[in-house]
């Protein structure tokens, strides 16, 4: 799966609950499972299982970490749940 994008769908009989886009990226010194996008509802119900599954997948793929991209609200969400958050950089090219 190196360099390929994968989609995770969380569904229930009533319909789609969430969509997650992940990528296994190889950097010069490390391999990282990257979460490029998360959207959905009732995150509080499925996030613990999601975190466990991403940890397992990252280890299986030989990754040394998990990175994610998202809006500032995600920082508050993950910190409130005890997930360590490190912000590498935030870049604004220009506001339209």
Report the domain count for the chain: 1
CATH number of the domain bearing residue 55: 3.40.630.30
* 79 Cβ contact list (under 8 Å, min separation 6): 85
Question: Does 33 fall in a domain?
Answer: yes
Question: Does 90 fall in a domain?
Answer: no
Helix H or strand E segment including 75: helix 72-80
Are 10 and 46 in contact by the 8 Å Cβ rule? The answer is: yes
Say how far apart CA 22 and CA 26 lie, in whole Å: 13
Question: Does 49 fall in a domain?
Answer: yes
Question: Does 30 fall in a domain?
Answer: yes
Question: pLDDT tens digits for the chain (96 residues)?
Answer: 566 788 888 888 999 999 999 999 998 999 999 988 888 998 888 888 888 999 999 999 999 998 887 777 778 887 887 877 777 666 666 656
How high is the pLDDT of residue 56?
Answer: 94
- Domain of 68? 5-80
* 95 Cβ contact list (under 8 Å, min separation 6): none
């Amino acid at each position: 799966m190196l360099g390929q994008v994968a989609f995770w769908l969380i569904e229930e009989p009533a319909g789609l609950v969430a969509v997650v886009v992940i990528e296994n990226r190889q950097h010069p010194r490390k391999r990282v499972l990257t979460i490029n996008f998360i959207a959905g509802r009732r995150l509080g119900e499925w996030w613990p299982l999601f975190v466990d599954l991403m940890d397992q997948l990252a280890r299986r793929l030989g990754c040394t970490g998990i990175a994610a991209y998202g809006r500032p609200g995600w920082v508050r969400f993950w910190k409130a749940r005890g997930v360590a958050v490190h912000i590498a950089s935030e870049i604004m090219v220009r506001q339209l």
